[in-house]
Amino acid sequence: AQSVSQHNHHVILSEAASLELGCNYSYGGTVNLFWYVQYPGQHLQLLLKYFSGDPLVKGIKGFEAEFIKSKFSFNLRKPSVQWSDTAEYFCAVRGTYKYIFGTGTRLKVLA
Amino acid sequence: DTAVSQTPKYLVTQMGNDKSIKCEQNLGHDTMYWYKQDSKKFLKIMFSYNNKELIINETVPNRFSPKSPDKAHLNLHINSLELGDSAVYFCASSQHVAEAFFGQGTRLTVV
């Protein structure tokens, strides 16, 4: 079955700390992977995506993610978080005519 | 111009009522979706349409009836609303396996 798991449900960091959010997927076909961010009260916005090629992908707002095929992982990273990064983060894999989301990680950044 | 727009943004209604949510995308995408986000922020696919045809109906009660009059529109009608239907409903669209673009969401509260 297709699934995505995010290990960290709640993360609290101070500004300037480094961030890594875990994501593991289970999918048998060609993998298209995404990270979305949802700021409080807003819709989902794409942070970055991986389809093929360089497994280290860079996205908006200084975020990056690394696709490790052997580990079925697509972890999100940011070297130095800001207060404005406080949001819910979702990892997703493209299935057949649908996107399968992880349960999300709520990140709170303390000023 | 908003890429994916849905109306209304907020909907408060009594149990047993019937309500509709409208969604329009101006991106020229072939595929549209409805997702339900529950109080724990979990995102679950409800329906997906490709070129106006229903592709996925993910064990949604038949009180929920989507309708796609054309490729740019996907509306959601809900009959006999129940308390458990309270959630945020997101419309989204995509072109093939590229990333999905989400609407602003409709917060439905059933009282």
H or E stretch at A90: strand A87-95
Q: What is the pLDDT of residues B12-68, one digit of tens each?
A: 999 999 999 999 999 999 999 999 999 999 999 999 999 999 999 987 899 999 999
Q: How many alpha carbons lie under 13 Å from residue A16 in its C-beta half-sphere?
A: 1
Question: Who among A32, A42, A106 is closest to B97 (CB)?
Answer: A32
Q: Quick one: pLDDT at residue A2?
A: 85
Q: Whose CA is closest to A105, among A27, A36, A43, A26?
A: A36
- Does the pLDDT of residue A94 top 70, yes or no? yes
Question: Who among B42, B50, B103 is closest to A43 (CB)?
Answer: B103
Both tokens of residue A44?
């989902």
- Best probe of the A interface among B34, B97, B101, B104, by most A CBs < 10 A, is B97
Q: What is the pLDDT of residues A46-80, one digit of tens each?
A: 999 999 999 999 999 999 999 999 999 999 999 99
Q: How far apart are CA B33 and CA B73, in angstroms?
A: 10
Would you place residue B2 in the very low, low, confident or very high pLDDT band (cuts 50, 70, 90)?
A: confident
Residue that is written with structure tokens 């339900």 in the block: B36
Q: Whose CA is closest to A65, among A47, A52, A46, A38?
A: A47
* Number of neighbouring beta carbons within 10 Å of residue A15: 13
